[in-house]
Amino acid sequence: MFNQLKVTSTLSDETRFSIYQFMLQEKKSFSVQDIAEKFNIHPNVARLHLSKLTEIEVVSAEYEKTGKGGRPGRRYKANENGVTLSFPKRNYEELLQWTLEVIEEIGPEADRIGQKISYNHGLKDMEQLILSHGKDRSQLSIDEKMDLITEAASLIGYVPSINEGPEGKTMSFAVYNCPYHDEIGKHSNIVCNLHESYLKGQFDTLFDVKDFVKIESMTNSCDYCTYHVNI
């Protein structure tokens, strides 16, 4: 049975891979001594490399009859078809670019739908975090809510804090390590709208949010994106 893990492990050795490439290109058989001399290695080392290549069936071995008596030698030849390894390509950055371009191409309606989806994901992620702590959302104290939003913040890079004022409590936070920083330049409005909607979903799960206001933005050459949230 073809075992890709064993193949990749065998070919990960630089010398062994070079031997295999050489044999594949030359399309003829070689003795252990031939390989030892070509790669300037001891015959025992050459024999080990050839045995490993034979085990994964990229090289075949046959005994050579010399007609001179004694033990016949083995000659090794790379299989003509070689070996092809395929791995699933997971290029999420490229997929993200395509998605942003689709949203931009469709226009405001796609942006609105995207914000709705992001908001709902913010709600669900915070609900999952609450459940993971065995808490009941309706019975959470303000300190417990702050602990939860702080834990969520640590995962995506923002720092929340609560301030007491004449008009009540105001929460402020700064996104100091935006997870989508690389995409801001080309699709800043879309990226920021989606990210902000996600954050709103998180806060709305825990607090009675009256206003969610962006004060500073990295897109305006600020060091951070800062927000004030009236709760």
Round the average pLDDT of the chain to a whole number and report it.
Answer: 82
Give the 3-state secondary structure of residue 31. strand
Lowest mean pLDDT among 3-12, 150-159, 201-210, 222-231: 150-159
* Domains of the chain by residue range: 4-78, 92-230
Token representation of residue 177: 């390590």
- In the predicted model, is pLDDT for residue 37 greater than 70? yes
Q: Select the highest-mean-pLDDT range: 40-44, 85-89, 207-211.
A: 40-44
CA gap 138, 141 in Å, rounded = 9
**Burial of 71 per CB tally in 10 Å (0-12, 13-18, 19+):** exposed
CA gap 118, 141 in Å, rounded = 26
Instruction: State the pLDDT at residue 201.
Output: 93
CA gap 122, 195 in Å, rounded = 9
The tens digit of pLDDT for each residue in 129-177 reads: 999 989 898 889 988 988 888 888 766 666 677 777 776 777 887 776 5
Instruction: State the pLDDT at residue 181.
Output: 63
Instruction: State the pLDDT at residue 166.
Output: 72
- Region 28-36 average pLDDT: 93
Fold of 92-230: Muramoyl-pentapeptide Carboxypeptidase; domain 2 (3.30.1380)
- Region 120-131 average pLDDT: 93
Instruction: State the pLDDT at residue 1.
Output: 41
CB 153, CB 175: distance < 8 Å: no
The better pLDDT of the pair 200, 181 is held by: 200
Distance, first Cα to last Cα, the chain: 62
DSSP output for 44-107: HHHHHHHHHHHHTTSEEEEEEP-SS-SSPEEEEEE-TT----------HHHHHHHHHHHHHHH-
Give the 3-state secondary structure of residue 179. coil
CA gap 153, 172 in Å, rounded = 12
Instruction: State the pLDDT at residue 76.
Output: 93
DSSP output for 100-161: HHHHHHH-HHHHHHHHHHHHHHHHHHHHHHHHHTT--GGG--HHHHHHHHHHHHHHHTEEEE
- Region 114-122 average pLDDT: 95
CA gap 101, 85 in Å, rounded = 32
In CATH, the number for domain 4-78 is 1.10.10.10
- In the predicted model, is pLDDT for residue 207 greater than 70? yes
Instruction: State the pLDDT at residue 11.
Output: 84
Give the 3-state secondary structure of residue 193. helix
Instruction: State the pLDDT at residue 84.
Output: 59
Share of the chain above pLDDT 90, in %: 30
Instruction: State the pLDDT at residue 31.
Output: 93
CA gap 96, 118 in Å, rounded = 14
- Region 216-225 average pLDDT: 72
To the nearest 10°, report the CA torsion of 143, 147, 152, 153: 90
Instruction: State the pLDDT at residue 186.
Output: 75
Instruction: State the pLDDT at residue 106.
Output: 93
